[in-house]
Amino acid sequence: MEIDWKQLTAVATTAMEKAYAPYSNFPVGAAALTEDGRIISGCNVENASYGIGLCAECSLVSELFRTGGGKLVAFACVDGKGQPLMPCGRCRQLLFEHSADGMLLQTISGIKTINEVLPDAFGPKDLQK
């Protein structure tokens, strides 16, 4: 499956423009390609009780399941200027749980696999041991 990184970045940027970030003023958008060819997106949604805000990746995974589930093949995340943004550790774990083998991420240092950005990750297979 060919990955159009410009399109993923554009979709992430459009999602970022819908972010609700009145407290941090740091809007984030995310977009991903699924195994079946869908492009899904998400944005961060903050809350006055800071700890219960949602990252763009959380919104994206909700959209994944809302639109039929599956696994993520490629992922892009952008900041308020549309520049690549590395997911935080919590969100890398969330993405790992729903990634296809070898999922690719656009990062600030180039395209990397999910295993490169979260080596030795804990996941569903570990619960079967």
Q: Which residues are catalytic?
A: 57
Cβ(40)–Cβ(31) below 8 Å: yes
Which among 81, 79, 78, 89 has a CA at the least distance from the CA of 32?
78
| Sheet with strand 39-43: strands edge to edge | 39-43, 29-34, 72-78, 99-107, 110-113
Q: Give the helix ranges, DSSP H, for the chain.
A: 5-16, 56-66, 89-97, 114-117, 124-127
Cβ(74)–Cβ(3) below 8 Å: yes
